[in-house]
Copies of this chain bind each other. A is one copy, B any other.
Amino acid sequence: MAKKYNFYAGPAILPQEVMKKAQEELLDFNGIGLSIMEISHRSKDFEAVINTAETKIRALLGVPENYTIMFLQGGASLQFGMIPMNLLKGKKADYVHTGEWAKKAIKEAKLFGTVNIAGTSEDKNFSYVPENLKLSPDAQYVHITSNETIGGIQFSRFPETGGVPLIIDMSSDIFSRRIDFKNIGMIYAGAQKNIGPSGVTLVIMRNDLIEAGTDGLTTMLSYKTHAKEKSMYNTPPCFAIYIIKLVMDWIESNGGLAGIEKINNDKAKTIYDAIDGSNGYYKGTAAVKDRSKMNVTFRLPSEELEEKFINEAKKAGFIGLKGHRSVGGCRASLYNAMSLAGVSELTKFMKKFAGENA
């Protein structure tokens, strides 16, 4: 079976080198005669894995020393609740409403305090990133979703919050580009786009925010627990963390985040150029300035042609090109493990399809 190109919005493909290494080691990790899945999380072999993963994340992302890196469970969806549960305390937070993911975060926050919608692109179906945010000086934090997988929009830079901690759901673009931790109170991400398999959530949080968390919470829902216990209060998702470690090795060998960012820029340029150069056959749905480099959303001249495009693409080995059911159209997700070659192949197919179905 030929390797398929998976353009699904997630879980995403993983680097082939990572998958091959995982396969090689699956029955015998480090020569210990057991799988990484079959050993105690307190064993020195697993402790080396989680410690190395953490060290590499810190180095690659440039995480300052006053932030703690945690490996949690429950996906970004559990974070939507844990963040206000720990930090809102009946007070106010600013949320920028950019689509389905922001909406879910906002819904949970309302259970714990007042939500000020500091900006929204709801008026144009979440096709752009709002500017001129109406931030509250007394907000506990400002929450944004750095990349919206459905609308295909992305913050090209993060808002200036004037010292209020910025909390960013980076589930769909973490490790896709370099980031500046100035203003950042916390970033979090489900692993299954850019850093590993589903089942682990990366949380990077400034220590003063961890310490300021609400007391008296369920132990597992307090960031203090996980920070204090180094993500080992209970058994962590060991295999998923092991894969993250391998992905970090792969990012290193690709020039670190600067290298990855360049490849992602090239991939995005390749497909957006194909869209823009199609004489209007393909139309991008996001505002040009806010186009996501991770999720490229576009339409064809009709829904019938979109269906035909998706089906023929699938036959040609390009799977997962259907847009989210809530918006329709087409979507190509270009997470880190998607190669520039894969994107080039897709654009060739797009050009051919447009020629045959004009």
Chain B proximity mask over A80-120: 1 for CB below 8 Å, otherwise 0:
11100100000000000000000010011001000000000
Complex contacts, A190 vs chain B, CB 8 Å: 234-235
Output the nearest chain B residue to A320 by Cβ-Cβ distance.
B40
How far is the CB of A214 from the nearest CB of chain B, in Å? Answer: 12
B216 touches A111 (CB 8 A): yes
Instruction: Find the residue from A37, A38, A234 having the highest chain B CB count within 10 A.
Output: A37
Contact (Cβ within 8 A) B33 A220: no
By the criterion CB–CB under 8 Å, are A77 and B40 in contact?
A: no
Is A305 engaged at the interface, CB distance under 8 Å to the other chain? no
A288 within 8 A of B: no
Determine if A157 is an interface residue (Cβ-Cβ < 8 Å).
no
Are the CB atoms of A234 and B76 closer together than 8 Å?
yes
CA distance A13 to B33 in the complex (A): 11
A289 to chain B, nearest CB (A): 29
Digitize A162-205: 1 where CB-to-B-CB distance is under 8 Å, 0 elsewhere.
00000000000000000000000000001010000111100000
Are B77 and A75 closer than 8 Å at their CB atoms?
no
Beyond A219-B107, A235-B75, A238-B197, whether A20 also contacts B11 by CB under 8 A is no
CB A38 to nearest CB in B, in angstroms, measures 5
Q: Is A257 an interface residue (CB 8 A)?
A: no
Knowing A39-B11, A40-B320, A77-B233, the reply to whether A199 touches B238 (Cβ < 8 A) is yes
Contact between A38 and B26, CB atoms less than 8 A apart: no
Contact, CB under 8 Å: B1 / A199 = no
* Minimum distance in angstroms from A59 CB to a CB of chain B: 25
Q: Mark A6-21, 1 if CB is under 8 A from B, else 0.
A: 1011111110000110
Contact B20 A38 (CB under 8 A): no
A218 touching B111 in the complex, CB below 8 Å, given contacts A41-B11, A73-B75: yes
Chain B min CB distance to A194 (Å) = 13
- In the complex, whether A23 has a CB less than 8 A from a CB of chain B is yes
Cβ contact within 8 Å between A198 and B41 = yes
Chain B residue numbers with a CB within 8 Å of A6 are 34, 38-39
CA distance A80 to B3 in the complex (A): 43
- Assembled-state Cα–Cα distance A41/B13 (Å): 12
> What residue in chain B is nearest A233 (Cβ atoms)?
B77
Q: State whether the Cβ of A342 lies closer than 8 Å to any Cβ in chain B.
A: no
Q: Which B residues touch A27, using CB under 8 A?
A: 19-20, 23
Q: A78-B221, A199-B200 are in contact. List 6 more A-B contacts (CB 8 A).
A: A3-B34, A13-B38, A75-B220, A77-B220, A111-B218, A240-B240
A-B contact pairs, 30 of them (CB 8 A): A2-B33, A8-B40, A8-B43, A11-B41, A12-B38, A14-B35, A19-B26, A26-B26, A33-B317, A73-B78, A75-B235, A76-B234, A77-B220, A78-B218, A78-B220, A80-B220, A81-B218, A81-B221, A108-B219, A111-B216, A111-B217, A190-B235, A198-B235, A198-B238, A199-B199, A199-B236, A199-B240, A237-B237, A239-B240, A240-B240
- Give me the 4 closest cross-chain CB pairs, A-B, nearest first: A199-B237, A81-B218, A73-B73, A77-B234
